Structure formats: structure tokens, C-alpha cells
């Protein structure tokens, strides 16, 4: 009897803490498990009793990687509860800040966390010596995204200026112009990034597992922070009805809740967005998708980072367009007036990793009575598990190291934000 046992403790190059276990006997899979060991954090309870003015500040601390997403979902939940409509200028700025989030998060994932898997390195550090130009470019792009956020929000991680109903401070026009120039130059970097991803694409494992893909959908644009919830299996859902999709439940081996809709699992994130909305990508992003051979629907989860690459181009293009619009119409101080009222509000955005939901109920003084947050990675955990179940039996004859590495790569492909999923 030959026994195979693989255990990955605290998977690396992901955000948060998760383990992988695989056991097989005589080439037959006994079990393969994706286990989430992150410490529970209880943000929903921390928010209880908090005034709306502190709420997005607290809830952005759910995640250091996608804190702009949490801030945005949080503000939109509160605005929906209070019946606040943003001005056009406030919307444009919010969308621009969101592009910075997509850009930074995707560049970090594709070029810093995933690239070493394809270039045979343990991290990005040795790549400085072997692939210096690409790493210098990656650092430059990440810094650009960071600076864009900084100009708008005071800083990228845990933004300061976005507030309920608008902005506490407008960006400086000259700084915005300077950033626009850097973005335009960085479009060349986008060509390089696409070429790099294309060159490693043949190494992407050939694995297909069709599932349900869920993302926001907006008839007007490739949606990041607007629209309704849509499923590749058909149908759209109003934001307040999100529980019909998420149906959270607990499992003993995971401190994150899991989510499930009509099939055995569903996926959220860049590939889901691509599968549902690729027609609406901006021209350069469409061209990048073509260059990368991407045509929806794609059922290979390892292609999530390729979809992220396409979205990086899209976010860059979108950011340039928005800055042009802002500069053309001029920036004007706008007074932000907030009148709290009792009620419920749901804010849903596409975090870089997928559908992110904040659902708050307020009392008439504008203090939170109850809060519920649902995180993209929480929704993807089951999809990761189901991919494991389908993938593992097909690779059992491979050397142990290769099996381990493939399973690690699969989890990494999802760009999981595990500490976020255990909020």
C-alpha cells in the first residue's frame, strides 16, 4: 500500500492564513481539503453602536489590500440607508479611486505573487536579479496606483477623504494632471505586462471546471461599483436581495463562512466579471484580451490572473478617461450634507477579488444597530474546494512536489484575501 500525504501549513504568497491537506492511498484520492485557519475578528460586532461618521473608517480595516473596496461598499451602504445621492463629481472621483484599487491589487497579485510560480522562484526577490526590468516596472506600476490613491484619498491603505455623501477634501488639480501623464506613459508598461503574461500563458495548467459565475452587471459600463448582481446561469438580483445568492453557512475546518447558490459552488472575481461583462471592456483592454486569447466564457480558474491583467489595462484606461472628464468640467468644492435616518442600506461593489457586500441597519441617530459583511473570498472558498476535488485526482501520478505546487497555485490563482474573509 502506498500512502501519499501532503500538508501545506500557512500557504504563502496569499493574504491571510490557510492550509492544504491531501491524502491518497495507492493512487486513489482519500481527501483533499482547503482549510481556513485565520483568527475570527468580529467586525460586524465592532460596528454595532458606531456613528456613521466612523463606520467606513472601522470597516476599511477589515482588509489592508482592498481597503478602498471596503470603504466604498461601506459608504454606499450608509448612503443607501440615508437616501443620499452623490453628485456627478463625487461619483467620478469615487470611480477614479476605485480604478487605483484595481490597478494596485491586480499588479501586486499578477507581478509580485503569481509571477514567481511561473518563473521558478520562491518570491519576487530573486527575480530582481533575473528579471530586473519587469520587477522595476512592477514596482513603478504599484507606486503609480498608490500615488493615484494618495492624491485622491490621502493614502491607499485605509483611505481618509471619501466620506458619506462625498469627499472631505478634493484632489489638487496639478497633482491630478501629473498623475495623468504618468498613467499615459504607463500604457506602455501595460503592453509589457500583457506580453509577460502571454509568454507564460502556455505554462498555465490545463484544467476546466465550469461553474456559476457571479458579478455586478451594469448596462452602461464594465461594472466595478454600480449595477445589479448577475449570474452566468441567468437572472439579475437587486442588491438588497443578495442573500438569495450568498446563503452563507459554516464548516468546522474554516473560520470563514462559505457561500453557495444554485450549483455546488460559484465563483466571483476578475474571471467572473470577464465572463459576464467582457463586451463592455474599454478598447485597449479588449485588444489586450484578444492578444491574450481570452474569449468568454473561460472555465479555467488558473486564468483568473489573466483576466486581472486585462482588467489592469481597463482600469488604467478608465482612470485616464475620468481624469480628462474631471479636468474638463473643473473641480468644485461641494458641501456634504448628511441627515441620518433609521433604516437599512446595502452597498455592493466588485472588490478586486469579487462581490463585496456591506449591509447596515441604522437607528435614527445614525448609529449602527446591526451589520453584515460578505467577502469575495468567503464566496470563493467553496469554489476552491470543488476545484481541488476535481483537479487532485487527475494529478496524483505526478511527483509529490508537483502535486503540492499545483494545489498551491490553484489557491493563489484565486488571489484569496483570507483575513478579509474572516472578518
Partner 1 sequence: MKPKVAFFDFTSCEGCQLDALNLDVGEVLGLLGAVDIVNFREVKTDRSDDYDIAFIEGSITKESEIPRIQAIRAQAKVLVALGACACTGGVNCMKNAYPMEDLLKGVYGECAEYYNTIPARPVSAVVPVDAYIRGCPPTTAEFVNVVKSLLLGKRPDLPNYPVCTECRIAGNVCVFQRGGTCIGPVTRGGCEALCVSSGRFCWGCRGLVDDPNTNSEKDILARYGLTIDQILERFKIYNSYSEVSKCQS
- Candidates 26, 40, 330, 401: give the one binding partner 1 (CB under 8 A): 40
The cell numbers describing 285, all together, are 483592454
> Residue 364: phi, psi to the nearest 5?
-70, -20
CB of 63 to partner 1, least distance (A): 5
- Candidates 54, 184, 233, 400: give the one binding partner 1 (CB under 8 A): 54
- Candidates 202, 219, 234, 252: give the one binding partner 1 (CB under 8 A): 252
98 forms part of the interface with partner 1 (CB under 8 A): no
- Candidates 4, 6, 23, 61: give the one binding partner 1 (CB under 8 A): 61
| Choices 33-41, 93-101, 182-190, 355-363 (CB under 8 A): range interacting with partner 1 | 33-41
How many other CB atoms are there within 10 angstroms of residue 287's CB atom? 15
Window 349-368: residues binding partner 1 (CB under 8 A): none
138-144 — which CB contacts under 8 Å span 24+ positions? Answer: 138/107, 138/111, 138/112, 140/186, 140/189, 141/103, 141/107, 141/111, 141/186, 141/189, 141/193, 142/104, 142/107, 142/108, 142/112, 144/103, 144/179, 144/182, 144/183, 144/186
88 forms part of the interface with partner 1 (CB under 8 A): no
- Element housing 266 (H / E): strand 266-267
Spatial distance between the Cα atoms of 282 and 326, rounded to a whole number of angstroms = 18
| Choices 12-20, 181-189, 191-199, 303-311 (CB under 8 A): range interacting with partner 1 | 12-20
Window 140-159: residues binding partner 1 (CB under 8 A): 140, 142-143, 146, 153-158
DSSP characters over 206-261: ------EEEEEEBTTBS-SSSSEEEETTS-EE-GGGTHHHH--EEETTEEEEE---
CB of 64 to partner 1, least distance (A): 2
Beta-bridge mates of residue 3: 25
CB of 250 to partner 1, least distance (A): 4
Q: How many residues bind partner 1 (CB under 8 A)?
A: 57
402 forms part of the interface with partner 1 (CB under 8 A): no
Which of 4, 1, 14 is closest to 392 using CA atoms?
Answer: 4
Which positions touch partner 1 (CB under 8 A)? 10, 12-17, 39-42, 44-46, 54, 57-58, 61-65, 67, 108, 112-113, 116, 122-125, 128, 136, 139-140, 142-143, 146, 153-158, 160-161, 163, 167-169, 250-252, 255, 257, 419-420
Amino acid at each position: 500500500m502506498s500512502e501519499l500525504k501532503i500538508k501545506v501549513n500557512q500557504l504563502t504568497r496569499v493574504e491571510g492564513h490557510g492550509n492544504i491537506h491531501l491524502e491518497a492511498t495507492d493512487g486513489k484520492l482519500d481527501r483533499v481539503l482547503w482549510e481556513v485557519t485565520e483568527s475570527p475578528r468580529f467586525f460586524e460586532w465592532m460596528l454595532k453602536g458606531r456613528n456613521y461618521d466612523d463606520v467606513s473608517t472601522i470597516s476599511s480595516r477589515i482588509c489592508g489590500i482592498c481597503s478602498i473596496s471596503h470603504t466604498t461598499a461601506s459608504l454606499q451602504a450608509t448612503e443607501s440607508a440615508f437616501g443620499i445621492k452623490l453628485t456627478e463629481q463625487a461619483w467620478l472621483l469615487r470611480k477614479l479611486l476605485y480604478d487605483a484599487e484595481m490597478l494596485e491589487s491586480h499588479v501586486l497579485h499578477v507581478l509580485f505573487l503569481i509571477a514567481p510560480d511561473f518563473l521558478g522562484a520562491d518570491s519576487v526577490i530573486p527575480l530582481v536579479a533575473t528579471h530586473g526590468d519587469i520587477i522595476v516596472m512592477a514596482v513603478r506600476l504599484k507606486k503609480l496606483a498608490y500615488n493615484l490613491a494618495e492624491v485622491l484619498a490621502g493614502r491607499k491603505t485605509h483611505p481618509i477623504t471619501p466620506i458619506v455623501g462625498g469627499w472631505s477634501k478634493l484632489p489638487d488639480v496639478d497633482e491630478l494632471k501629473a498623475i495623468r501623464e504618468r498613467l499615459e506613459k504607463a500604457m506602455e508598461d501595460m503592453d509589457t505586462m500583457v506580453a509577460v503574461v502571454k509568454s507564460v500563458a502556455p505554462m498555465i495548467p490545463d484544467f476546466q471546471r465550469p461553474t456559476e459565475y457571479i458579478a455586478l452587471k451594469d448596462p452602461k459600463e464594465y461594472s466595478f461599483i454600480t449595477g445589479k448582481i448577475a449570474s452566468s446561469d441567468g437572472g439579475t438580483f437587486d442588491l438588497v436581495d443578495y442573500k438569495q445568492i450568498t446563503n452563507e453557512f459554516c464548516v468546522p475546518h474554516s473560520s470563514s463562512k462559505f457561500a453557495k447558490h444554485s450549483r455546488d459552488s460559484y465563483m466571483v472575481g476578475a474571471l467572473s466579471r470577464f465572463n459576464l461583462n467582457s463586451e463592455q471592456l474599454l478598447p485597449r483592454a479588449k485588444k489586450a484580451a484578444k492578444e491574450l486569447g481570452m474569449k468568454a466564457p473561460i472555465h479555467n480558474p488558473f486564468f483568473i490572473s489573466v483576466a486581472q491583467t486585462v482588467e489592469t489595462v481597463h482600469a488604467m484606461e478608465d482612470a485616464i478617461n475620468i481624469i480628462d472628464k474631471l479636468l474638463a468640467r473643473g473641480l468644485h468644492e461641494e458641501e456634504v450634507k448628511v441627515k441620518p435616518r433609521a433604516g437599512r442600506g446595502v452597498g455592493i461593489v466588485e472588490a478586486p477579488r469579487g462581490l463585496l457586500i456591506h449591509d447596515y441597519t441604522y437607528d435614527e441617530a445614525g448609529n449602527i444597530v446591526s451589520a453584515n459583511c460578505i467577502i469575495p473570498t468567503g464566496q470563493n472558498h467553496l469554489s476552491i474546494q470543488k476545484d481541488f476535488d476535481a483537479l487532485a485526482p487527475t494529478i496524483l501520478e505526478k511527483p509529490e512536489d508537483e502535486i503540492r505546487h499545483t494545489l498551491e497555485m490553484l489557491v493563489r490563482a484565486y488571489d484569496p484575501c483570507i483575513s478579509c474573509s474572516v472578518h
